[in-house]
Structure formats: structure tokens, C-alpha cells
Structure 1
Amino acid sequence: MSTASARMPTLYIPHGAGPCFFMNWDPPTAWERTAAYLRGIPASLPAPPTAIVLVSAHWLAARPALTTSAQPGLLFDYYGFPPHTYELRYPAPGAPALAERAADLLAGAGFAPQRDARRGFDHGVFVPLKVAFPDAGVPVLQLSLLESLDAADHLRLGRALEPLRDEGVLIIGSGMSYHNMRGYGDPRSLPASEAFDRWLVETVSRPEVERNARLADWAQASAPAGRLAHPARAEEHLLPLHVAAGAAGASPGRRDFSDRVMEVAISAFRFG
């Protein structure tokens, strides 16, 4: 078990568009700054992580689900990209023992976790981790979101996992702080994305109780342009932030990275 001084932060990261970090774009610098941010994550940590728990926007289940394979494969759950992007590899080991530990924590918080020995890592997992941890040496456990898309429940989900931070486990929420598919590439989307981004920056910097209350209520009038950034029933790219915030406990939050990509503002956040 790690010492208290090596307690891991929690992160909410942008995983980009499909396999974007492994493609040529016009302009070629479109995802360059995001990739640089991801590459810098290991050096920003207090110690090398013993394992990673990653909550991806691309797995929803009725009950929290955990990968239990010792060597998960990959799910190429993106469409219409160049052939070479379907040949990417990320042979990180799974974390079956950590899955059991996480399942116990979730059960103790009133959830009924389920185990999935067949599911591989989707692109919300392997694409950003291939950039951030390219040697694929850190065991990875993927955790699903909840089909309910209930914001408060995702905060509770994260809070249940907070003890893992003291065991050297890095908890990552992988999504996009803006994810209105009709808005990408449209300059008219920029003001709305920036307004919501400012609200997120202000929100994560608040003390835990106020921060979580605002996040639980994000879809209401308190979050300007929230539903422009994340249309109704499409907020799965935001909710990994709630898991990261829940797992943060009282740890302070801040924006860790920001950029303008495809005519919208995107950000990453760190707690602790």
C-alpha cells in the first residue's frame, strides 16, 4: 500500500475524437496540445501508479460493471477511420484483484456491481492511455457508467472508490467537457462551450459539498449552456468528471489543461 504522501490525485481527461492522436489532421496541430497534456500525466503524479481505474464515456450498464480479464482485448468502437487505426495495440494487463477490491467498495456503498470477464478496453480507455502510458505496463481496470445517467449517483460511485487513492491507484474519468456532435466544427459553438467551461472551472474549485451539489445539478439553470455542451441523454462524456470528483473527497479541484479544438473549448480537471 502506498504511503499517504503518495496519495494519487483523480483526473478527468479529454480522450479526443476516435483515434485522433494516431491520425493526420488538417490542421496537423489540431490535437497536438491535448496529446502533449496526456503525455505529461505520468510526470505530474506523486509516484508511479500501482494501477489505473478508468471510467470511460463509452460503457454504460444498468449496474456498475468492472472488467475482470487478466488480459483484456480492445474494442474498436469507432467508425469510418483509416484502416491503420484498427490495428492499434495496447496490451496493458487487466487487474482482476483490483476489480474485486473495487466491487467490495461499491457494494459497501449500496451498489450491486457486476463483473465482466469478456469485455475489452474501448477507445475511451486505450486511445488516451496509449498516449499517456505508452509502454502499457500499468494494470488497468475499466469501470462502466450507469445507464441512468444520474449525476448524483455518479458522484456516489466515485466516492465509494476514494480509498483506492491511498493504495497507489490512479482514478481517471475519460470523456470530453464539450460533446455536442452537431456543434463540433461550427464557430458558433465557441461561446456556449466557453460559457460551460467557465462554469466547470468555477465549480470544481469550490469546497467539496458545494462542488458536488453544483455538479449534481449541472443540467439545470445553474450551468449556463450545459445542455448545449451536452444534449439531453447524451451526457455520458461529462459524467466521468462526476466520478473523478466523487473520488476526490475533500481534495481541491482545478483545471489542469484547456484548449480550443474543432471550434470549441475543451478542458481537463485534476483533484488533489
Structure 2
Amino acid sequence: MPLALTPVHFFSHGSTMMLGEQSESADYWKQCGDEALARGIKGVIMMGAHWDCVGPNRVQVSMNPSPGKSPVAYVHPSKYVDYKLVPDLETGNKCIEMLAQDGFEVTANDKFDWIHDTYLILIRMFPEQCPPTTIISLNARFEPHFHMRVGAALRPLREQGYLLIGTGGAVHNLYRNVWQSMLKYSDNFAQETPPEDWAMEFRQAVEDAISGNSGPHLRRAITRLMKHPRFRDAHATDDHFMAAAFCAGAAGSEDDSGVYGKLEAETWELTNMCNSQFTIGAYA
């Protein structure tokens, strides 16, 4: 049955150990992958958090026909080394054309090797076989409206059966995590104390923005979160929040009015890292 419109996922990929340890988030990623396969998606378009390019209006599209994998710390190689990546060069060219038509300075990158922020999610969603996948870079200015516009430019791909995913973090400040249990005992889920107030407050602000806004209001709510008084506590760097802006662009047109996102799973790591998993919309 042809797809009328695919949902958009904003996933918080968390630490590298999210690839090696079972969690509520991992279960939800697998659920989303199973549903995507059952619905016959054509491929996946992803924006992560660990690849950016320099230039005021520049964005890149992964076009390496045989990408390698950047190594993953604290995870046994058996969890990822044999997983075969499937770059979608045809759709990559389509993304380049769409972004260029929307005024972006877009180029192909045929040397880019994939990083755990994207293939961690793909392995969890599609453990048997990677679907055809295209990765879009960040822009190193980390301007939220820019990344929202990237998502908006690619939104028509949802009508063609592609699944758009942003993989970053709801609360992701490595400097304020509590690392001892992970480093000493390989326990990333240890929670000897509650999360700090700043983490709880911003986590709630993200959920409120996504669950309480739709259409263009969603775009405004997400980009405005970078002015939240707790944003800098929750994000020491801006890179992991750009995926949320990308998703708001992809799911925030006038035609998306009335379609609200939902918090579907959540996993706290390292005391203060909140890995919230959101889905906006549903398969028609």
C-alpha cells in the first residue's frame, strides 16, 4: 500500500554504550524500524550531530559509495563492525537537487565515513539489514533556523515514502554528566542521585515544545528553545540540538498543522543525559 506521509523521528542517541546495552529507547528504535519496514519505506534520510561543514550557507550530503565506520568507544566491536552500511546515492543526488533549489550551497562528500550517531540508530532500528540511507551534514554555525530550513526543503520526501530522522539529544552536556560508574563499572545507567534541576527543566521544555505545538508553531517552539534559560546548561555545545530543528522543519509545514509529536520512550544515562525519543505524525 503506498504511503501518504511518513512520520518524523527525533531520536536522542545518547552515549556510545546505547549501542551495547538494552534500554527502553533501544526497544522503541526497533519498534520504529519494524513498522517502517512493514510500511515499505523507500529509504532513510538522517541528520546527525557529529558531522558538520564550514561556510555560511553550506551543507553536504554523504555520497561515499563504500563508507567506513568511525570506531565506537565502550562497545564490543562485534556489535557493529560487520553491519553493512547501504548508502543511497540516487536519493543523495535527489537531496542535493532539492537543497540547491531551495538556495543552499550544497555539495556531495564522497569521502565521508559514517559516525555512531547515525549507524547506532540504524543498527538498533534495522538489525538484520541497513535500508538505503542518506546522511545530511550540519552547518558549523549551528544556527537553528538554517537547520530547520534544511528539514523543510526535504519534507516532500515524506510524501514519496522516505523516513526522515534527526539523531541528536534532548539533554546532552558531556561536561555535566557523571562518568564514574561508566568508567569504573561499564554501567552507563547507574543513577546514584537524581538528575540535576537544569536537566529536568530543559527536558520538560523539549517535551512541551514538541507535544504542544504543530505546524509552523512547532518550528517556532523548537528554534526558540535555544533562548531557554537552561539551554546552555543542557547543551554545552549546540550540535546535538540541530537534529531537533531539522525535524521541526520536516514536520512543521502548514500541512502539518494539527499533527503533534509524542514522547514515546526515554532513557537517562550518566545521571544528567536525557535520551528522549519523539515521533511526530504517523503512517497514513
| TM-score tier (shorter) | 0.7 to 0.9
The DSSP-based 3-state class of the residue aligned with 2:176 is coil
1:155-211 deviations in Å (ceiling 9; x for gaps): 101000001111111111111211111222284643222211111111113132222
The structural deviation recorded for 1:87 is: 6.2
Using the alignment, how far apart are the partners of 1:4 and 1:40 within structure 2?
18
1:171 aligns with 2:164: yes
The structural deviation recorded for 1:18 is: 1.7
The DSSP-based 3-state class of the residue aligned with 2:196 is helix
Residue 51 of structure 2 aligns with an amino acid whose one-letter code is: W
Partner of 1:260 in structure 2?
Answer: 268
Partner of 1:40 in structure 2?
Answer: 31
Match of 1:143 among 133, 136, 140: 136
Gaps of 5+ in 2: 180-192
Using the alignment, how far apart are the partners of 1:258 and 1:75 within structure 2?
26
Partner of 1:65 in structure 2?
Answer: 60
Match of 2:240 among 237, 242, 255: 237
Deviates more, 1:177-186 or 1:90-99: 177-186
Partner of 2:13 in structure 1?
Answer: 15
Partner of 1:100 in structure 2?
Answer: 93
Using the alignment, how far apart are the partners of 2:169 and 2:235 within structure 1?
10
Residues 56-205 of structure 1 mapped to structure 2, 5 A cutoff: 56-62=48-54, 63-76=58-71, 78-79=72-73, 81=74, 84=77, 88-185=81-178, 187=193, 189-205=195-211
Using the alignment, how far apart are the partners of 2:18 and 2:44 within structure 1?
22
The structural deviation recorded for 1:245 is: 1.3
The structural deviation recorded for 1:40 is: 1.2
Residue 226 of structure 1 aligns with an amino acid whose one-letter code is: F
The structural deviation recorded for 1:42 is: 2.0
TM (norm. structure 2) is 0.83
Identity %: 21
The verdict on how the C-alpha distance between 1:116 and 1:194 changes in structure 2, with shifts beyond 3 A counting, is: same
1:28-56 deviations in Å (ceiling 9; x for gaps): xxx52221121111234471321111111
1:61-107 deviations in Å (ceiling 9; x for gaps): 1221111133322122x55x366369623212111110111011111
The DSSP-based 3-state class of the residue aligned with 2:19 is helix
Alpha carbons 2:173, 2:235 under 8 Å: kept? yes
Gaps of 5+ in 1: 24-30
Using the alignment, how far apart are the partners of 1:16 and 1:192 within structure 2?
18
Using the alignment, how far apart are the partners of 1:85 and 1:177 within structure 2?
28
1:227 aligns with 2:226: no
1:209 aligns with 2:219: no
Residue 241 of structure 2 aligns with an amino acid whose one-letter code is: L
The structural deviation recorded for 1:226 is: 1.4
Alpha carbons 2:14, 2:172 under 8 Å: kept? no
1:137-163 deviations in Å (ceiling 9; x for gaps): 411111111101001111101000001
Q: What is the Cα-based RMSD across aligned positions, in Å?
A: 2.2
Residues 49-60 of structure 1 mapped to structure 2, 5 A cutoff: 49-60=41-52
Using the alignment, how far apart are the partners of 1:271 and 1:87 within structure 2?
28
Deviates more, 1:170-179 or 1:249-258: 249-258
